[in-house]
Structure 1
Amino acid sequence: MSITREIGAHYTPDKGTLFTVWAPAAAQVDVVLKDNDKIIPLQREAFGYWTALSEETAPGTRYTYRIDEEIERPDPASQHQPDGVHEPSDVVSHHDFNWTDKKWKALPLEQFIIYELHVGTFSEDGTFQGVIDKLPELVDLGITAIELMPVAQFAGSRNWGYDGVYPSAVQESYGGPEGLKKLVDACHATGIAVVLDVVYNHLGPEGNYLNDFGPYFTNKYNTPWGKALNFDDAHSDHVRNFFIQNALMWFRDYHIDALRLDAVHAILDTGAKHFLQDLQEQVHHLEKQLGHTYLLIAESDLNDVRLINPMEKGGYGLAAQWSDDFHHAVHALLTGENSGYYSDFGKLEQLQKVLQHGFVYDGLYSEHRKRTFGSDATANPARQFVVCAQNHDQIGNRMLGERLSKLVSYDMLKVAAGLVLLSPFTPMLYMGEEYGEENPFLYFVSHSDKDLVEAVRKGRKEEFSAFAWQGEAPDPQSEDTFRQSKLQRSYEHSEPHRQLRDFYKALIKLRKSAPALARPDKTRLHVSADSPTQVLHMIHSGESPYLYILFNISNQPQKAKVVKEVGADWKLVLSSDEHRYGGAGKALMQEINAGQEIELPAASVTVFQSNIIL
Structure 2
Amino acid sequence: MQFEVWAPQADRVTLHCADTTRALDRDTRRPGWWTGEAEAADGTRYGYALDDGPVLPDPRSRRQPDGPDGLSAVVDHERYAWRVPWAGRGLPGAVLYELHVGTYTREGTLDAAAERLEHLVELGITHVELMPLCPFPGTHGWGYEGVSLWAVHEPYGGPEALKRFVDRAHELGLGVVLDVVHNHLGPSGNYLPMFGPYFTDRHHTPWGMAVNLDAPGSDEVRGYFLGSALAWLRDYRLDGLRLDAVHALKDTRACHFLEELSTAVDALAEEVERPLFLIAESDLNDPRLITRRTQGGYGLHAQWNDDFHHALHTALTGESQGYYEDFARAPFEALEKTLTGGYFHDGTYSTFRGRGHGRPLDRTRVSAHRLLGYTQTHDQIGNRAQGDRLAAHLSPGLLACAATLMLTAPFTPMLFMGEEWAAGTPWQFFTDHTDPELAEAVRRGRRREFAEHGWAEEEIPDPQDPATRDRSCLDWSEPAREPHARVLAWYRELIALRRAQPDLSDPDLAEVRVAHDEAARWFAFRRGDVRVAVNLGPEPAAIQLGLHRARVLAAWEPVEAPGRDGVLRLPGESCVVLGQG
Any idea what SS the aligned residue of 2:141 has?
A: coil
1:22-41 equivalences in 2 (<5 Å)? 22-33=6-17, 35-41=18-24
Cα-to-partner distance string for 1:193-240 (whole Å, 9 max, x where unaligned): 001000000000110111110010001122112221101101001100
- The structure 2 residue matched to 1:433, chosen from 409, 412, 419, is 419
1:445 aligns with 2:431: yes
The residue number in structure 2 matching 1:590 is 561
Distance in 1 (alpha carbons) for counterparts of 2:360 and 2:167:
39
Letter in 2 for 1:52: G
Q: CA deviation at 1:57?
A: 1.1
Q: 1:426 to 1:492 in 2, by over 3 A?
A: closer
Q: CA deviation at 1:47?
A: 2.2
Cα-to-partner distance string for 1:325-347 (whole Å, 9 max, x where unaligned): 01100111101111111111122
Distance in 2 (alpha carbons) for counterparts of 1:389 and 1:58:
47
Q: CA deviation at 1:468?
A: 5.8
- The structure 2 residue matched to 1:154, chosen from 127, 136, 152, is 136
Letter in 1 for 2:210: A
Q: CA deviation at 1:555?
A: 2.5
Q: CA deviation at 1:312?
A: 2.1
The residue number in structure 2 matching 1:572 is 552
The residue number in structure 2 matching 1:133 is 115
Any idea what SS the aligned residue of 2:404 has?
A: helix
The residue number in structure 1 matching 2:92 is 110
Any idea what SS the aligned residue of 1:233 has?
A: coil
Distance in 1 (alpha carbons) for counterparts of 2:107 and 2:207:
30
Distance in 1 (alpha carbons) for counterparts of 2:442 and 2:391:
27
Q: CA deviation at 1:37?
A: 3.2
Distance in 1 (alpha carbons) for counterparts of 2:563 and 2:110:
49
The residue number in structure 2 matching 1:43 is 26
1:173 aligns with 2:155: yes
Distance in 2 (alpha carbons) for counterparts of 1:536 and 1:397:
28
Contact 2:132 2:144 in 1 (8 A): yes
Unaligned runs of 5+ in 1: 1-16, 578-586
The TM-score with structure 1 as length reference comes to 0.91
Distance in 1 (alpha carbons) for counterparts of 2:442 and 2:153:
21
The residue number in structure 1 matching 2:401 is 415
Any idea what SS the aligned residue of 2:553 has?
A: strand
1:90-101 equivalences in 2 (<5 Å)? 90-101=73-84
Contact 1:437 1:489 in 2 (8 A): no
Letter in 2 for 1:488: D
Contact 2:14 2:22 in 1 (8 A): yes
Distance in 2 (alpha carbons) for counterparts of 1:178 and 1:340:
42
Distance in 1 (alpha carbons) for counterparts of 2:539 and 2:22:
75
- The structure 1 residue matched to 2:464, chosen from 477, 490, 494, is 477
1:359 aligns with 2:343: yes
1:190-589 equivalences in 2 (<5 Å)? 190-346=172-328, 347-379=331-363, 380-464=366-450, 467=453, 472-541=459-528, 546-562=529-545, 564=546, 566=547, 568-577=548-557, 587-589=558-560
Contact 2:90 2:276 in 1 (8 A): no
Which shifted more, 490-499 or 430-439? 490-499
Contact 1:32 1:39 in 2 (8 A): yes
Distance in 1 (alpha carbons) for counterparts of 2:350 and 2:214:
30
Distance in 1 (alpha carbons) for counterparts of 2:321 and 2:297:
33
RMSD: 1.5
Letter in 2 for 1:489: W
Contact 2:106 2:470 in 1 (8 A): no
Percent identity reads 43
Letter in 1 for 2:6: W
Letter in 2 for 1:267: L
Q: CA deviation at 1:559?
A: 1.4
The TM-score with structure 2 as length reference comes to 0.96
Unaligned runs of 5+ in 2: none
The residue number in structure 1 matching 2:66 is 83
The residue number in structure 2 matching 1:605 is 575
Distance in 1 (alpha carbons) for counterparts of 2:536 and 2:358:
27
May I ask how many residue pairs the two structures share in their alignment?
575
Q: CA deviation at 1:42?
A: 3.6
Q: CA deviation at 1:591?
A: 4.7
Distance in 2 (alpha carbons) for counterparts of 1:382 and 1:368:
26
Any idea what SS the aligned residue of 1:345 has?
A: helix
Distance in 2 (alpha carbons) for counterparts of 1:363 and 1:284:
31
Distance in 2 (alpha carbons) for counterparts of 1:555 and 1:163:
43
Q: CA deviation at 1:50?
A: 1.1
Distance in 2 (alpha carbons) for counterparts of 1:492 and 1:281:
42
Letter in 2 for 1:597: V
